Amino acid sequence: MVYKGCDIGSATPNKETLSKYPHHLVSCIEPESIFTVSDFYKQSIKLINSIHKRKRIPVFVGGTMMYFKSLLYGLDILPERNDEIRKNLEKIKLNKGTKELHLMLTDKDIDYANQVNELDEQRIIRALEVIEISGKSFSSQIGSRGNTWLTNHFNVHQFGIFEDDRSVVHSRIEQRLRQIIKDGLLDEVSSLLKEYNIPEHHPIRKSVNYKQAISRINNEYGDDEFFLRALYATRQIAKRQMTWLRSWKDLKKYSIYSKEEIKKQVKSLSSAL
């Protein structure tokens, strides 16, 4: 949603909705750039302060739990990303696999290597990048966020959609996937690839729906396989989101069918402020 031109695959609200309800951080980044958790955190803090000055209440909506966690509890002060280092690490991954990167991490920082899954390339590459830039272990640089927590400065109310019936979740996922394909997902991705020079390591190429659509456009498999792979990937990410929600602190959970109840709760909080 944050990248321009990635509307269908990320279910960006339509123009009518965006016009009626002002949104921020939507279609604001060129697809050739990379929007990091740090970028999200810094821009969100600015938006929160700006919105409060206008005597309004900022509402964050979405499903990226890692981003929300950074906003709630702050970020560790770490070096900025280095594309040259990342390119070298990506080459190693392509030639020898993610497990080789994990072995490198084990050699440089066994404490953090023991905490991260050996196939979690995103975290492994970030850790190796930080180690190479700073000359220090990654584990020694995390966990000291200071007083930057959002929860230290504001009253934060959290609402989550948590549906225990997995068949309901799977049915809605499948309906949504069929709809975005019908709406022109493959055409959208084709246009992105033609219009922008999107690096191989870019998050767009790895994100659900876009990764599978790129493979379909490259004729790595047919339409049926494309649909099944996208469906499986979406179900997996939904499963991870539910895992996050189960252990999320101070979260009020609602079922998929509780829209009116949530609206009532939000309105009551707003009127009390």
Model pLDDT, residue 119? 86
* Domain extent at residue 240: 15-35+157-267
CATH number, domain with residue 129: 1.10.20.140
Q: Tell me, yes or no, whether 235 and 167 share the same domain.
A: yes
Q: Tell me, yes or no, whether 258 and 219 share the same domain.
A: yes
Residue 78 lies in a domain: no
pLDDT in tens, 129-173: 999 999 999 999 887 665 556 777 788 889 998 888 999 999 999
Q: Tell me, yes or no, whether 132 and 166 share the same domain.
A: no
Model pLDDT, residue 225? 97
Residue 273 lies in a domain: no
Out of 15-19, 43-47, 76-80, 204-208, least confident range: 76-80
- What length does the chain have? 273
Residue 105 lies in a domain: yes
- The whole-number average pLDDT for the span 22-36 is 92
Task: Please tell me the total count of domains within the chain.
Answer: 2
Write out the DSSP string of 49-65: HHHHHTT-------S-H
pLDDT in tens, 248-263: 888 999 988 888 998 8
Model pLDDT, residue 69? 85
Q: Tell me, yes or no, whether 162 and 197 share the same domain.
A: yes
Q: Tell me, yes or no, whether 133 and 161 share the same domain.
A: no
pLDDT in tens, 55-73: 888 999 887 888 888 888 8
Helix (H), strand (E), coil (C) string for 5-30: CCCCCCCCCCHHHHHHCCCCCCCCEC
Q: Tell me, yes or no, whether 113 and 167 share the same domain.
A: no
pTM of the model: 0.80
Q: Tell me, yes or no, whether 164 and 256 share the same domain.
A: yes
d(CA 74, CA 68): 10
Residue 100 lies in a domain: yes
The closest alpha carbon to 57, from 28, 29, 25, 21, belongs to 21
